[in-house]
Amino acid sequence: MTIDQIEPQAVDSPITRSALFMVATLGPGEHCAVRVREVCGDLAGLVRSVGKRVPSGNLSCVIGFGAAVWERLFGTPQPIGLHPFREFGSGARKALATPGDILLHIRAEHMDLCFELAALLVKRLGDAVAVVDEVQGFRYFDMRSIIGFVDGTENPGPRDVARFTLVGDEDPAFAGGSYVLVQKYLHDMAGWEALSTQEQERIIGRTKLADIELDAASKPSCSHSSLTTLEEGGQEIKILRDNMPFGRPGAGEFGTYFIGYARSPAPIEQMLENMFVGKPPGNYDRLLDYSRAVTGGLYFVPPVDFLEQAAE
């Protein structure tokens, strides 16, 4: 099978109004691994069955697996870039690793579709896994994050998304797969909203209303935009973000679920190092004065053919 014949998972699924992120750990015993592999084989069919109820709902599901369980689940060497989540920073400003072996990223226009599919998957998985984190995300007005700025502006366009997100000849055994890194951030909204719009714009590096990047003369080197923009050989390196706001106003919880897809974890990890450690060290992302990472995980998203073969 050539790379052109490989079917990736729905990494570049159309932007939707709703999403559900679920992280689980794998239970002990071979029966747990068997059950997960069975669900891998059933996944496409479950998505079709739920999605056909609302054909315009754009239901999709991506499943990824962590380094700690790869060989146990699939009995093969793991993808060359897969490893435990790398932590960056220290103290209150830290990108920390948290438990997680399996990631489910479910997207649809309506939360009922996400909810139904997630409920079916959890039922099928049974006691083979333990869900350790679950977040229901929503699209906030005109593609904005909870802090009021447009999110995902610098995502690759349709013509470039595969080039930046899908593994190619560098790891032919896993061509068509993708790496995905997730983090859950909680925001200090009282502190953020106490800032002037101009102060917020300098922290982000873009204008708030029009979403225009600040010019070089007025954009601080510690802005979020400055530290998450990467170049190599004069060309910008991009990742595919599909971040979602979430929250519980009654509990005072306001957050962003960061999810980034790439053909290698290296660019996302470089962004995190720039943000949490600083470039140079100490010149960290000032957004982290108001945003705290509380989870972190790295997973590999194998192509559809791999999932189907794992279930056989």
Mark whether 12 is an active-site residue.
Answer: no
Judge if the upstream peptide bond of residue 280 is cis by omega within 30 degrees of 0: yes
What does the pLDDT look like over 148-185, one tens digit per residue? 999 988 899 989 999 999 999 999 999 999 999 999 99
Distance from chain centroid for Cα 29? 29
* 302, two tokens: 């194998």
Q: What is the mean pLDDT of the chain?
A: 95
What pLDDT is stored for residue 50 in this prediction? 98
DSSP state of 143: T
User: How much is the average pLDDT of 247-261?
Assistant: 97
Catalytic member of 151, 169, 171, 285: 151
pLDDT at 295 over 60: yes
Q: Which of 3-7, 27-31, 82-86, 124-128 has the lowest mean pLDDT?
A: 3-7
Distances (CA, A) of 27 to 134, 153, 309: 18, 39, 22
What does the pLDDT look like over 13-47, one tens digit per residue? 988 999 999 999 999 999 999 999 999 999 999 99
Give ∠ CA 274-98-230 in degrees, rounded to 5: 20
What does the pLDDT look like over 72-120, one tens digit per residue? 999 999 999 999 999 999 998 999 999 999 999 999 999 999 999 999 9
What pLDDT is stored for residue 301 in this prediction? 98
What pLDDT is stored for residue 114 in this prediction? 98
pLDDT class of 3 with cuts at 50, 70, 90:
low
Going along 206-301, which residue ranges are E strands?
A: 230-232, 235-237, 240-241, 244-248, 253-262, 291-293, 297-301
